Amino acid sequence: MDWYCNPSNFSSVDTAQLSPGSGSVGHVTFRSISVAVSLCGLVGNGIVIWFIRLSTKRTSFFTYSLNLAVADFLHLCFQIVFSVRQILKAFLRHCFPLPGIFMVLRFFFYFTSLGVISAISCQRCLSVLFPIWYRCHCPKHLSAVVSTLLWILTFLLNILRGHACGQLYIRKTQFCPALLAATSAWAFLLFSILGVSSLLLLLRVHASSQRHQPRKLCLVLLVSVLVFFVLGLPLSIIRFLTADVENETLNDICVLLSCTNSSANPAVYVLIGGLQRQQPREPLQVVLQRALGEEMEDGKDGKARPPGPLKGGELPGDVCLRGTAPAISWQ
Cα radius of gyration rounded to whole Å, the chain: 22
Q: Which run of H or of E encompasses 110? A: helix 100-129
Residues 6+ apart with CB under 8 A from 184: 240, 241
Q: Which run of H or of E encompasses 40? A: helix 25-54
Mean pLDDT over residues 171-176, rounded?
Answer: 84
268-277: burial string, b at 16+ Cβ within 10 Å, e else: bbbebbeeee
Q: Are 35 and 127 in contact (CB under 8 A)?
A: no
Question: What rounded mean pLDDT belongs to the chain?
Answer: 77
Mean pLDDT over residues 152-172, rounded?
Answer: 87
Query: Which domains are assigned to the chain?
Result: 3-302 (1.20.1070.10)
Mean pLDDT over residues 133-160, rounded?
Answer: 90
Mean pLDDT over residues 31-37, rounded?
Answer: 95
Residue 53 CA, chain-centre distance (Å), reads 18
Position 218 scores a pLDDT of 75
pTM, entire model: 0.80
Residues 6+ apart with CB under 8 A from 313: none
**Of 183, 165, 152, 120, nearest to 10 (Cα)?**
165
**How does DSSP classify residue 230?**
I
